Amino acid sequence: MKRWLLGLAAVLLLASPWPTSAAETAYEWNVADIYPSEHEWMRDYKTVKNALPKLAAFEGKLDDAKTIAKLFALNEQTARKLEKLSLYAHLKRDINIEDETAARLGAKVEALAAQYAAKTAFIEPELLALPERTLRKLQKSKPLKAYRYYFHELREQKPHTLTKREEQLLAKLSPALGEAENIYDHAARGDYEPPSVKMPNGKTVTLTDDQYAAMLEHPDRRYRKAAFEAKAKSYEAMEQTAAATLYASVKADELYANVRRYPSGLAAALAADDVPKEVFDHLIAATRRHLPALHRYVELRRRALGLDRVHSYDLYVPLVGETMKPIPVETAKTLIVEGLKPLGADYIKQVHRAFQERWLDVFPRPKKYTGGYNTGAYDTHPFILLNYNGSLDGVLTMAHELGHAMHSVYTNRAQPYHYSGHSIFTAEVASTANEWLMLDYLYKQAKTKEEKLRLLIEQIEQIRGTLYTQVMYSEFERMIHDKVRQGGSLTADELNHLWLGLLKTYYGPAYAADPGAAHGWLRIPHFYDAFYVYKYATSLAASYTIVSDIQTDTSGKAVKRYKQFLRSGASDDPIRLLKRAGVDMTSPEPIERVLGHFAELVDELDRQLPSQNRQRST
């Protein structure tokens, strides 16, 4: 999702977003928080290695609650240390890809993790082989009281569990069944050569992903079009390979589902998160009902840009003027602290801790990983990697990753290790809730019509990119999975046809579907992780409902419910966790609510645009 810089007259300073060199370390991780030295790292490494034979000694003995409880306790102690070992090496590598110590420790811990996986691989198959009556008895037993939801999940897996020999065979086949994604990665990232285009100033630029995204925002339409057509042409060279790998991946998904006695690949994917099919169905149906609002937004873009039709290369160009001043990092911190205050004093206290205790590695530098993420271990604080550039996108990304971090903080304080994880279905709720709060705060703080218009469009684009687009992707996934399950094949021409048809349906009569746009499906690596992208849309809808309730509730109950959600981790299925937070994702209401908001935003944009100078795209 593309965002644009914002000039906030009340808070922006005439300064670089980067601090002075004397303050730089305050914006870098201190990995010594994990291990003060390699000596301490090696001590835990040896402890884990020594524990492996003890874990393996439990194999064949999992038939009573006390024995299983002892195994779980030892396994947790070992896994927690292994998690810290891996985190330390991983973070050192990401802040300096050429760090030889990080490479050496990373290799050691990867090998150790493989040994650990091999020694503990017997646990779930052995438990699943127990009779249903025994599993039910274990679930209710006193020694395993802390694992009751774990046994609930285990019992739900049992109807889809094969014999021991079949499970072993499927495990051996798994690498081959997943090879399609590896082949795609090599074709899309290794063999693929990005094209180049000539800029208006005569300079030739290679269309890397970042450069291409920037070029689609260029005010010169001829340049945007040239970049789009060059990129589309370059995709043609790999579309047959991409079609073959996607077909192989979908076949593997459907085969896996069939072998495990699921009716479809979709059902198997939903079951992995304990999500009922109605959630997926409501998402598609509700979004379809609200397509007229998206069509209207595309029409407003057409009018604002002075076009006859909106092409794919016109969907990202800003509708207002060029960017303003960069937002210094200290200002970004102030904005985030103020914007997140509705979540309460304790939440803000943890945000302050994040900045004061160097949980964030903020700025880009040579040899540092170029993406952004939040990570951590159960026994450490969170670690947030950013490449902050002073833009509004940078501020919102910081708030987004802090949402993930706070989710971990609250969960780890309240839950035992085995419930400390988060399903993607719930994890993105905590991060996008922060974005909603920030967008609302910034909109209220904006001093000029242009600033308000920028933020209005930003909210529209957030819903378009995170909900409408991801739902369109999900429809495409359902179509290709249905086709393969019914015995059909997937050719490049068929995939292009399906993709182009969805683009026309979603963007409406003001959109011109260029043939080059038909190749969009082959640039989405998430399609190799079946039915993953719909979770972005459901999370955005859930977080919108939560934030709306927080903003209108004067009793504090909505914040209290949300904090309880943050504390819950993976202690129950995602649907029940969200219901306790006030969101029923089995109902279409959350989707209807956020898409109703989208329609209101488009109405407001329609009112504001006539007061702006109309553009005439060249």
Nearest to 400 by CA among 442, 439, 451: 439
How much of the chain exceeds pLDDT 90, in percent?
Answer: 79
- Structure token pair of residue 63: 């038939």
Which position has the token pair 């969101």? 583
According to CATH, the topology of domain 191-320+447-606 is Neurolysin; domain 3 (1.10.1370)
Beta bridge partners of residue 373, listed in sequence order: 385
- State the pLDDT at residue 611: 52
Nearest to 315 by CA among 7, 617, 598: 617
**462-501, pLDDT tens digit by residue?**
999 999 999 999 999 999 999 999 999 999 999 999 999 9
CA distance 391 to 328: 9
Question: Does the pLDDT at position 59 exceed 90?
Answer: yes
- Structure token pair of residue 226: 């040239």
Which amino acid is present at 477?
Answer: E
Reported residue count of the chain is: 618
Which amino acid is present at 521?
Answer: W
Told to judge if 181 belongs to the known catalytic residues of this protein, a careful annotator would answer no
Q: Cα angle at 543 between 411 and 507, to 5 degrees?
A: 140
CA distance 298 to 104: 52
What's the start-to-end Cα distance of the chain, in Å? 24
Q: Please, which residues have CB within 8 angstroms of residue 575's CB and are 6 or more apart in sequence?
A: 274, 275, 276, 279, 585, 586
The Cβ-side half-sphere exposure at 252, using a 13 Å CA radius, reads: 20
**161-204, pLDDT tens digit by residue?**
888 788 878 877 877 888 888 888 888 777 788 899 987 778 89
Question: Does the pLDDT at position 15 exceed 80?
Answer: no
Q: What mean pLDDT value characterizes the chain?
A: 91
Mean pLDDT of 51-60: 97
Whether pTM exceeds 0.75:
yes
C-alpha distance from residue 171 to each of 113, 180, 313, 434 (Å): 17, 17, 44, 40
DSSP code of residue 529: S
Catalytic residue among 239, 401, 451, 458: 401
Question: What are the residue ranges of CATH 1.10.1370.20 in the chain?
Answer: 191-320+447-606
Which position has the token pair 């009556």? 133
- State the pLDDT at residue 8: 34
Mean pLDDT of 528-551: 96
Question: What are the residue ranges of CATH 1.20.140.70 in the chain?
Answer: 29-160
CA distance 171 to 163: 12
- State the pLDDT at residue 613: 46
Q: Which long-range contacts (CB under 8 A, 24 or more apart) does 218-223 make?
A: 218/317, 219/317, 219/322, 220/618, 221/313, 221/314, 221/317, 221/617, 221/618, 222/618, 223/197, 223/199
Could you tell me if 306 and 615 are in contact, meaning their C-beta atoms sit under 8 angstroms apart? yes
Nearest to 52 by CA among 75, 33, 30, 69: 75
What interhelical angle do 469-485 and 239-259 show, nearest 10? 70
Per-residue buried b or exposed e for 281-317, using 16+ beta carbons within 10 Å of the residue's own CB: ebbbebbeebbebbbbbbbbbbbbbebeebbbbbbbb
CA distance 317 to 340: 29
- Structure token pair of residue 241: 């390979």
Question: Does the pLDDT at position 321 exceed 80?
Answer: no
Which position has the token pair 């370059």? 234
- State the pLDDT at residue 324: 64
Mean pLDDT of 551-559: 95
Spelled out in words, what is the top-level CATH class assigned to the domain 29-160?
mainly alpha
